[in-house]
Amino acid sequence: MPKKMQAGFQYTPEILRELLNPINKEELLTLLKDWGIKKIAQELNKVETFLKSVGTKLSQKQIEDLWLLREKELIFRSRSWILFKFTKNSQEIKDFHNIQQQFEQYLVSHQLKFNNEIKLYTLRDEIYINLIYHGPFRLYEENIYDFKVIRSVQRIRCLINLKLGILRMNGRSLSKIQLLLNMIKEIFGINPKKIPIPAYIISDFIKDEKPIKKLIVTCPRMVGGFSGIEKIVVEGPNVVEGLYNLQSRQEIPFSFQGLQKVGPWTEAKSNSARITNRGEIQISDESHQERLLDMIQD
């Protein structure tokens, strides 16, 4: 953990290395210039550049800027999002301080301020909301027989695009996701509806995205007529082609068409994206984002 100091936090080089790892060097250099740092060791790698130019002592504003830059890089390629849609709104949010206060007042008025905190940002021209709370206590073995009880900070992340009428939600706690949705409905005056991803959309995804690296099909007894198997998972560099080859060359009666008859597709993953029938989408290649969103909403 960083040591809190009078003017900020002291971080070890190892922690800073992990924080900086996903960040693009050019964007990091831009951030350092925005901080007013005159002497920037650009010829070094980004970690050494940061350590030599800034050091290990950061203000709260600096660590928040650094964290947000890291989020920008990880926001899509490392996280799955549940999608919602709502009536498009052309209005722009200009007074973020006022919106932040409304969220905080909601927590106070509903007696939810304890263990809940709200942060608002702009990220990729969208409104980025974090509902921050502490998770359950866990026993952690730091060294051999050296136990500590920790309670990690967890986040419900939300991206709102008012112009497109799209809301994305990421997080583990369903109750916290619902809490944030309720707050957004009241404060922004919108009514997000979850976008379903039925099996036929996943079938279209399988046809359009090549190669497919993972497929999951569920096996409901009323469809397949058998019991004992709940789902079948197929993984590999090109599972559709692999299933065809398995049947044609090895004469094993286990085929792509056969899987389709067993039950509905529930998950498919390619090099650029992953979608599930739970309404989750993960896009690692942002050039695919608009096309996939159009596919899901059609």
Neighbours of 20 (CB within 10 A): 19
Give how far Cα 290 sits from Cα of 128, 166, 293, Å.
Answer: 19, 11, 5
SS3 84: strand
pTM (two decimals): 0.83
Tokens 């198997």 identify what position?
Answer: 229
Q: With 60 as the cut, is the pLDDT of residue 9 above it?
A: yes
β-sheet bridge partners, residue 166: 85, 161
Report yes or no: 273 and 290 within 8 Å, Cβ to Cβ.
no
Cis omega (within 30 of 0) for bond into 211: yes
Tokens encoding 58: 């950061």
What's the half-sphere exposure (Cβ side, CA atoms, 13 Å) at 35? 22
What are 264-292's pLDDT values in tens digits?
A: 899 999 988 999 998 899 887 666 777 77
CA 223, CA 219: separation in Å to the nearest integer?
7
Element (H, E) at 273: strand 273-276
Q: What is the pLDDT of residue 215?
A: 94
Residue 298: the pLDDT is 63
Cα separation, 56 vs 50, whole angstroms: 9
pLDDT above 90 for 128:
yes
The mean pLDDT of 98-121, rounded to a whole number, is 93
> In angstroms, rounded to a whole number, what is the distance separating the alpha carbons of residues 134 and 95?
28
Rg (CA), the chain: 23
pLDDT at site 153: 92
Q: What confidence tier does 102 reach under pLDDT thresholds 50, 70, 90?
A: very high
Q: Long-range pairs for 217-221 at CB < 8 Å and ≥24 separation?
A: 217/259, 217/260, 217/262, 217/263, 217/264, 217/265, 217/266, 218/263, 218/264, 218/266, 219/262, 219/263, 220/263
224 band by pLDDT with thresholds 50, 70 and 90? low
Q: What is the mean pLDDT of residues 69-92?
A: 83
Mean pLDDT of 35-59: 91
Model confidence pLDDT, tens digit, residues 51-79: 999 999 999 999 999 999 999 888 877 78
Residue 182 has pLDDT above 60, yes or no: yes
Centroid of chain to Cα 88: 23
| Antiparallel, parallel or unpaired: β 265-270 and 273-276 | antiparallel
The pLDDT tens digits for 19-34 are 999 999 999 999 999 9
Half-sphere exposure of 267 (CA within 13 A, CB side): 17
